[in-house]
Amino acid sequence: MASNSIHPDSRIARLEELFASLPGLGPRSAARLVSELLTARRGEAHEIAAGLETALKLVHHCPRCHTLTTDPVCSFCRDASRDKTRLCVVESVADQKAVEASIAYQGGYFVLMGRINPLEGTEPEALGVPQLLRRVKEEGVSELILATSYTPEGDVTAHLIASTVRKHFPEVRITRLSKGLPSGVELEYADAASIASAVIERR
Amino acid sequence: MASNSIHPDSRIARLEELFASLPGLGPRSAARLVSELLTARRGEAHEIAAGLETALKLVHHCPRCHTLTTDPVCSFCRDASRDKTRLCVVESVADQKAVEASIAYQGGYFVLMGRINPLEGTEPEALGVPQLLRRVKEEGVSELILATSYTPEGDVTAHLIASTVRKHFPEVRITRLSKGLPSGVELEYADAASIASAVIERR
């Protein structure tokens, strides 16, 4: 009657299925997680349900840096102490946090929330390139630092952004983090010291 | 300002934190998951939030087999075609599904929803041992099959249940799955053929 992957209770089975479809989870880990949420971690389960609904209602791209936020403007962009003439383009919030943790950078950020992936058909518009161009223009950015990973997708993304910005704003200096980053490794997994030297030796 | 593990948005950070505390997830995978739920998978996110709330409201231990269900009686226990004189005791729904998939067994189940762990202080009551004794009595069970894993905790659990049942119902035959199961491996990871021979050669 029950297959090896379907919980006998249809409501619980559907929850397991939903969790199993998420990145990093499979059928077994999803089943264990749902079972914990419905027994030992009921408090967390209520908070997750309520927190998801609230975040879904409020979440949007920050109008300045394009990251996800539930505030009108994200906390990075609210920080008036940062140097507005430099703008660091990162693939994700995780990468932004990694650059921030290196302490070598005090300028603004633009978070792509993804990267160009020709196979998956990711378009420059989905990454917020129009918003990036508007920001470069409106805030008089003098240097654009491309902090995409040294992976094929990161290279394509950096190339596309560099050529687009150069076309519209030839006066802007465009740099990329130096190859102190281990090639082929995601930026968010690099250690703070490597990221710091990569920021300092950017080219 | 932002540490490497805290999202700059406090609501999103709290969601990441909640997911990161769940079994099988860490800070990075939780951050990736929350970001997906709030962008590409908003439909699933709504369904998870609503499904969790509903399941939390309705979920309880099945009064007969002690598994988690949102129905008054679980679907295994509603199945009148099964042999009520035999009762198979398993540690989890995953183990129940693994025994079921071996097709070698057509009797009833009792799901412990855990196992005795002296270090974590798991008590026999939490595993539903009183309900198990009541069921053995009320349904005239003639054979109790202990299908706990061949791990230290599984052995302790089988020993405790066997001695408790033997004390109250010395006439009940108590068997354990034969050691066809690879020793030291969780039951739910065994293949159906090994489980089938372990059921047939139970001792």
> What ipTM was assigned to the predicted interfaces of this complex?
0.73
Among A94, A161, A165, smallest CA distance to A127 is for A161
Is A11 a residue whose pLDDT tops 70?
yes
B contact test, residue of A3, A5, A6, A7 with most B CBs within 10 A: A7
Portion of chain B with pLDDT greater than 90, in percent: 49
Determine phi and psi for B54, rounding to 5 degrees: -65, -45
Q: What residue ranges of chain B are covered by domains with CATH 3.40.1360.10? A: 61-200
Contacts of A48 in chain B (CB under 8 A): 15, 18-19, 48-49, 52
Q: Are A173 and A202 in contact (CB under 8 A)?
A: no
Architecture of the A8-58 domain: Orthogonal Bundle (1.10)
Report the alpha-carbon distance of residue B101 to residue B93 in Å, rounded. Answer: 12
Is B203 a residue whose pLDDT tops 90?
no
Q: What residue ranges of chain A are covered by domains with CATH 1.10.8.420? A: 8-58
DSSP label at residue B62: -
User: Average pLDDT, stretch A108-126?
Assistant: 81
Is B90 a residue whose pLDDT tops 70?
yes
The most distant pair of C-alpha atoms in chain A lies apart, rounded to whole Å, by: 69
Q: Kindly report, residue by residue over A148-185, the tens digit of the pLDDT.
A: 887 888 889 999 999 999 999 999 999 988 766 666 67
Is B154 a residue whose pLDDT tops 70?
yes
Q: Are B202 and B88 in contact (CB under 8 A)?
A: no
pLDDT at A4: 43
Q: Kindly report, residue by residue over B100-135, the tens digit of the pLDDT.
A: 888 888 899 999 987 887 777 777 777 889 999 999
Instruction: Kindly determine whether residue A36 and residue B22, on different chains, have CB atoms separated by under 8 Å.
Output: yes
Written out in words, the top-level CATH class of the domain with range A61-200 is: alpha beta
Q: Kindly report, residue by residue over B51-80, the tens digit of the pLDDT.
A: 999 999 999 999 999 999 999 999 888 998
